[in-house]
Chain A
Amino acid sequence: DSGVTQTPKHLITATGQRVTLRCSPRSGDLSVYWYQQSLDQGLQFLIQYYNGEERAKGNILERFSAQQFPDLHSELNLSSLELGDSALYFCASSATSGGQETQYFGPGTRLLVL
Chain B
Amino acid sequence: AQSVTQPDIHITVSEGASLELRCNYSYGATPYLFWYVQSPGQGLQLLLKYFSGDTLVQGIKGFEAEFKRSQSSFNLRKPSVHWSDAAEYFCAAYRRGSYIPTFGRGTSLIVHP
Contacts and interface: CB of A to CB of B under 8 A. Distances in A.
A55 B98 CA distance: 10
A43 B90 contact: yes
Residue with the greatest number of chain A CB neighbours at <10 A, chosen from B44, B100, B103, B106: B44
Contacts, number: 49
Nearest to B36: A105
Contacts of A103: 46, 101
Nearest to A41: B105
* B contact face: mostly helix, strand, loop, or mixed: loop
B113 interface: no
A102 B32 CA distance: 10
Given A43-B90, A105-B36, A106-B43, A97 B49 contact: no
Contacts of A97: 99
Contact of A45 (B43, B51, B100): B100
A42 interface: yes
Interface of A: 2, 4, 31, 42-43, 45, 48, 55-56, 58, 90, 92, 97-100, 102-108
Interface of B: 32, 34, 36, 42-46, 49, 51, 90, 96-106
The 6 A-B pairs of least Cβ separation, nearest first, read A105-B44, A105-B43, A43-B103, A56-B99, A107-B43, A100-B51
